[in-house]
Chain A
Amino acid sequence: DTGVSQNPRHKITKRGQNVTFRCDPISEHNRLYWYRQTLGQGPEFLTYFQNEAQLEKSRLLSDRFSAERPKGSFSTLEIQRTEQGDSAMYLCASSAGQGATYEQYFGPGTRLTVT
């Protein structure tokens, strides 16, 4: 069983550019989550999907952020018109979401640097 994978692992972009990240969850996990983590802080929730439905979005997710999970498999997170404050580690996690088990397993993350 392969783990959660994320691409790219690192991204450097100039302010104002758009970036897109991809997450492939553990196979057969129907829940997928996006978090953002900055230095010295714990991960902060951005959004999550159950299958292809986006069930919740954090207020942290401004209009410049959009996430999709077509067909309930991989997910993409797009940031438009990047700002220096968007520099962070973007983490994807997945869970089986069965019963009371919400154990979330994280991918390696995508480190974004906005110059």
Chain B
Amino acid sequence: QKEVEQNSGPLSVPEGAIASLNCTYSDRGSQSFFWYRQYSGKSPELIMSIYSNGDKEDGRFTAQLNKASQYVSLLIRDSQPSDSATYLCAVGTRGSTLGRLYFGRGTQLTVWP
């Protein structure tokens, strides 16, 4: 069973702070890693993808991947109240299940003004 674990939260940060979200995965064959944002009652929205070790920046978001440690994280700089949502980590593996994503349970983030 391929597992994706996220810190359960909830995570609460003040406006303007850096929010740090973490995710670990069990399958060393994992090749693709994604962060989705999900507002209450809505569907997941893709915000970041990362495929190789290191950092990937997109605006206020930075994804970090360490395959040796089987760890992926998302940093949100200058957090805004509109960032308040559940953040889902998703992992894709190679092989016959190519395409299927395994999701964590999500970390609920609250950014207070």
Question: Is chain B found bound to chain A in the same assembly?
Answer: yes
Q: Which residues of A contact B (CB under 8 A)?
A: 31, 33, 40-45, 48, 50, 55-56, 58, 89, 91, 95, 97, 100-109
Contact-residue bracket for chain B: 20 to 34
CA distance A43 to B4 in the complex (A): 12
When A and B form their complex, what is the total count of cross-chain residue pairs whose Cβ atoms lie within 8 Å?
61
Q: A102-B32, A103-B49 are in contact. Are A97 and B43 (CB under 8 A)?
A: no
Q: Which residues of B contact A (CB under 8 A)?
A: 4, 31-32, 34, 36, 42-46, 49, 51, 88, 90, 92, 96-106
The answer to whether A108 and B34 have CB atoms under 8 Å apart is no
CB distance from A102 to the nearest CB of B (A): 5
**Which residue on chain A has the smallest CB distance to residue B97?**
A56
The answer to whether A31 and B103 have CB atoms under 8 Å apart is no
CB distance from B13 to the nearest CB of A (A): 21
The answer to whether A104 and B51 have CB atoms under 8 Å apart is no
The answer to whether A42 and B105 have CB atoms under 8 Å apart is yes
Residues of chain B within 8 A of A55, CB atoms compared: 99
Q: A102-B92, A108-B42, A109-B43 are in contact. Are A31 and B99 (CB under 8 A)?
A: yes
The answer to whether B46 and A104 have CB atoms under 8 Å apart is yes
CB distance from B78 to the nearest CB of A (A): 25
Q: A40-B105, A103-B34 are in contact. Are A108 and B43 (CB under 8 A)?
A: yes
- Kindly identify which residue among A31, A42, A91, A100 contacts B106, using a CB–CB cutoff of 8 Å: A42
CB distance from A28 to the nearest CB of B (A): 17
CA distance A109 to B39 in the complex (A): 13
CB distance from A40 to the nearest CB of B (A): 7
The answer to whether B99 and A100 have CB atoms under 8 Å apart is no
The answer to whether B46 and A103 have CB atoms under 8 Å apart is yes
Residues of chain B within 8 A of A105, CB atoms compared: 46
The answer to whether A100 and B104 have CB atoms under 8 Å apart is no
Residues of chain B within 8 A of A103, CB atoms compared: 34, 46, 49
